[in-house]
Amino acid sequence: MEGMEPWKEQVEVWRNQLEQWLHQAIEYSQQIPPTQLYIAIAVLVVTTLLVISIRLFKRTKSNTIVLTGLTGSGKTTLFYQLQDGSSHLGTVTSMETNEGTFVLHSESSKKGKIKPVHLVDVPGHSRLRPKLDEFLPQAAGIVFVVDALEFLPNCRLASEYLYDILTNASVVKKKIPVLICCNKTDKVTAHTKEFIRKQIEKEIDKLRASRSALSDADIANDFTLGVPGEAFAFSQCNNKVSVAEASGLTGEVAQVEQFIREHVKP
C-alpha cells in the first residue's frame, strides 16, 4: 500500500487545519457578547420561518376558476372546450356541478411544468344556485357567462344573478376578479361586449335602488355596490370586473384562457 502514503499525509494536514479553524471559531464565539449571539440566532430563526411560510402560502394559493351564469348561456360547452378542445355537441341543461382539474387544452402541448386549473361549472338552474356559495370562497376567479345571442330577454335575470355574485361576502372581501364572458359570438346577430356591459350596468343601477330599499328593512349583511349618487359602473367595484367575447362552440376561448392564466399562475 505504498501509493496511499502521500494521501494519508495530505488528510493529516487537512485535519490539523480543520481543528485549528474550529478552535478559532470557538474562541471567537466566546468573545461575542451573549446578547449579540441571541440576536443572530433570533434573526436566523425568523428568516427560516418566513421562508417556510412563504413556500406554504404559495402552495395553497387557489387554482379554482368558477364558471357561472344563467342556464343555457354555454358554461358546459365552454368547460369541455377548455378541457379537451371539443364542444361535446348537444349538452343538455346540467343538473349537477361539473368539476375537473386539468391543464388547459391549448397548453397541453407546451413543454415544462404547467399548473393544472381546477374548473367548476355550476349550473344556472335556480335549484342548484346555492351550490355557488360553496365554491365562491375558494375561487381565484369567476367567469360569468352571458348568452350574447339571446341577451335582451335575459338581461334582467342575468344582471340580478351577477348582482348577487358581486355583493357576495367572499367576493367582496377577497376581491375575487370577475370576467363577464359574452358567449356565442360565432353568430353575427350576437351583441357586442360593450353593448352587453352597458346594459348590465344600467340594470344593476336600477337593482341597486330597489335592493337598498329592501336591505334597510331586513337584509343586513348585503354589501352595497358602486358609489352612492353616481350611475353604476363596473369600474367602481372593489374587485376587477372585465368583459370578454367567446364562442364555446367554435373554440374561440383565448380571452377566457388569458383570464384564467392571469389568476392561476402557471
Ligand X SMILES: Nc1nc2c(ncn2[C@@H]2O[C@H](COP(=O)(O)OP(=O)(O)OP(=O)(O)O)[C@@H](O)[C@H]2O)c(=O)[nH]1
- Interaction site with ligand X (CB under 6 A): 69, 71-77, 91, 93-94, 123-125, 183-184, 186-187, 247-249
| 188-198 b/e (C-beta count within 10 Å ≥ 16 → b) | eebbebeebbe
Shortest separation between residue 242's beta carbon and ligand X, angstroms: 19
Pairing relationship of beta strands 178-183 and 139-147 according to DSSP bridges? parallel
As beta bridge partners, residue 98 has 121
Instruction: Tell the smallest beta-carbon distance from residue 171 to ligand X (Å).
Output: 20
Identify the CA nearest to 145 among candidates 263, 266, 261, 259.
259
Judged by beta carbon, residue 63 or residue 76, the one nearer Mg ion is 76
Smallest distance, Å, CB 172 to ligand X?
A: 24
Among 72, 84, 94, 242, binds Mg ion (CB under 5 A): 94
Which residue is it, cell 343538455? 92
Pick the closer one to ligand X by CB: 72 or 222.
72
For residues 15 and 187, which CB has a smaller minimum distance to ligand X in the complex? 187
Residue 173 binding: pick among Mg ion, ligand X, none (C-beta 5-8 Å cut-off by kind): none
Contact 105, 92 (CB under 8 A): no
In angstroms, the CA 104 to CA 261 distance is: 10
Q: Choose from Mg ion, ligand X, none: what does 226 bind? Cβ within 5-8 Å by kind.
A: none
Q: Would you count residue 97 as binding Mg ion (CB under 5 A)?
A: no
User: CB under 5 to 8 A by kind: which of Mg ion, ligand X, none does 77 bind?
Assistant: ligand X
Least separation in angstroms between residue 79's CB and ligand X is 7
Q: How is 205-245 classified by DSSP, letter by letter?
A: HHHHHHHHHHHHHT--SPPP-S-TTS---GGGSSS-EEEEE
Tell me the closest approach of the beta carbon of residue 73 to ligand X, in angstroms. 4
Is there binding between residue 76 and Mg ion (CB under 5 A)? yes
As a whole number of angstroms, the distance between CA 255 and CA 138 comes to 22
In the complex, which residues of this chain contact Mg ion (CB under 5 A)? 75-76, 94
